[in-house]
Amino acid sequence: MKAIVKSKPERGLWMEEVPMPAVGPNDVLIKVKKAAVCGTDLHIYKWDEWAQNTIKTPVTIGHEYMGEVVETGSEVDRVHVGERVTVEGHIACGFCRNCRRGRQHICDHTLGIGVQRDGGFAEYISVPAKNVLKIDSRIPDEILSIMDPLGNATHTALSFPLLGEDVLITGIGGPIGAMATAVSRFAGARNIVGTDLSPYRRNLARQMGATLVIDPMKENVNEAMRSLGMVAGFDIGLECSGSPVAFNDMVENMYNGGKISLLGLLPKNTQINWSKLIFKGLTLKGIYGREMYETWYHMEMMLTTGLDISPVITHRMEADDFQQAFDIMEEGNCGKIILNWE
């Protein structure tokens, strides 16, 4: 079968012919129909420091995808051939303390599909049946293929109550920030203010329901607050940029007792104004993946009752044209890019 492979420890990806994946007794074989390119895939493509320390070549990449079940292992009884499915991308061990207390998303021994084992940028993928999700048929295939990153956005946004709250989102125009905007709006936030350096992505955030989006190089968050009639700070912060400057700007503009979801990966050398965090009584929560599987339930219910994230899909192309997709991703003028494997 065809697959997009990180076959060498250097910049780039390659479409190759690889063996069909084995299907164990507890596994499911999926024929991939749609897949989406993620920022993690871009890190692997660029072969940056994180990728060099994490990826063992060769590996088929890709962890955002959907397709049809074509084969099930001998022990599988809850997933059936012909079903339309997507997959939770983190394989938890099931036995560590966190798994046994219902916190699989922070399992001690997580394996990432498309990172530590072969992923979904291929014609077929074999995955554990426990990770397979059959989703409501009213949700289109393209949306189904991006429920993995929507899960990150949902986990980020819904970690704290949003009804009537003022929300600040840094990195609002990236795909997860943009989807977190839509979720925040759906969940009843009052004002949703965002910052992003990219004009393209600022416009995308506006389409996703942001109240006000600013260029932090030219505009000030405090002035944005005043323009909306806000007299204090933000109740909720969603940090999606990974920028130390953006994070500290967020801390500066939080209301006392505010809560921050930290999704963006801040550099090791990030300087934090700890006194602000302490004296403001702020709460910080690290966000990793999706809460398994409560976040998946929230996503499905929102998508079937009015949540619209379709504007975040900005490009569609054939899987053979993956190089073009990564060129666009590197430029940054995009939301989610869908690769067609049918």
Q: Residue range 295-310: average pLDDT?
A: 97
CB contact set of 328 (below 8 Å; sequence gap of 6+) = 315, 334, 337
Note whether residue 206 is domain-resident: yes
19 inside domain: yes
Question: Is residue 291 situated within a structural domain?
Answer: no
Does 170 lie in the same domain as 246?
yes
Residue 299 lies in a domain: no
Q: How many CB atoms lie within 10 A of CB 304?
A: 13
| Structure confidence by residue, pLDDT tens digits, 145-195 | 999 999 999 999 999 999 999 999 999 999 999 999 999 999 999 999 999
Domain-embedded: residue 293: no
- 79 and 36 within one domain: yes
Question: Are 274 and 334 in a shared domain?
Answer: no
Mean pLDDT of 117-132: 98
> Do 262 and 315 fall into the same domain?
no
Residue 174 belongs to domain with CATH number: 3.40.50.720
Name the domain count of the chain.
2
State whether 84 and 34 are in the same domain.
yes
In SS3 terms, the chain reads as: CEEEEECCCCCCCEEEECCCCCCCCCEEEEEEEEEECCHHHHHHHHCCHHHHHHCCCCEECCCCEEEEEEEECCCCCCCCCCCEEEECCEECCCCCHHHHCCCHHHCCCCEEECCCECCCCECEEEEEHHHEEECCCCCCHHHHHCHHHHHHHHHHHCCCCCCCCCEEEECCCCHHHHHHHHHHHHCCCCCEEEECCCHHHHHHHHHCCCCEEECCCCCCHHHHHHHCCCCCCEEEEEECCCCHHHHHHHHHCEEEEEEEEECCCCCCCCCCCHHHHHHCCCEEEECCCCCCCHHHHHHHHHHCCCCCCHHHEEEEEEHHHHHHHHHHHHHCCCCEEEEECC
Q: Is 287 annotated as a binding residue?
A: yes
- Ligand-binding annotation for 38, yes or no, is yes
- CA distance readout (Å), 98 to 10, 105, 129, 316: 35, 8, 20, 38
Mean pLDDT of the chain: 96
CATH code, 75: 3.90.180.10
Query: What are the residue numbers of the active site?
Result: 40, 43
- Give the residue-averaged pLDDT of 101-130: 96
Q: Are 64 and 337 in contact (CB under 8 A)?
A: no
pLDDT at 268 over 90: no
Q: What mean pLDDT comes out for the span 15-28? A: 97
* One domain, residues 135 and 219: no
Question: Do residues 169 and 38 share a domain?
Answer: no
Range 227-251 average pLDDT? 95
Q: What is the mean pLDDT of residues 25-54?
A: 95
User: Annotation-wise, does 309 bind a ligand?
Assistant: no
Question: In this structure, are 12 and 129 located in the same domain?
Answer: yes
Are 288 and 40 within 8 A, CB to CB? no
Is there a binding annotation on residue 64?
yes
Average pLDDT (252-263) is 97
Residue 254 has what pLDDT?
Answer: 97
The answer to whether residues 244 and 264 belong to one domain is yes
Q: Say yes or no: 90 and 173 in one domain.
A: no
Q: pTM of the prediction?
A: 0.94
Question: Nearest CA to 174 among 63, 40, 61, 49?
Answer: 40
User: Residue 292: inside a domain, yes or no?
Assistant: no
Residues 137 and 166 in one domain: no
Q: Does residue 303 fall inside a structural domain?
A: no
Determine, yes or no, domain membership for 302. no
> Is residue 206 located within the same domain as residue 72?
no
Averaged pLDDT for residues 23-43: 97
Please enumerate in sequence order all residues whose Cβ is within 8 A of that of 74, keeping only pairs 6 or more positions apart, or say none: 25
Residue-number span of the structural domain to which 129 is assigned: 2-146+309-340
| pLDDT beyond 90 at 91 | yes
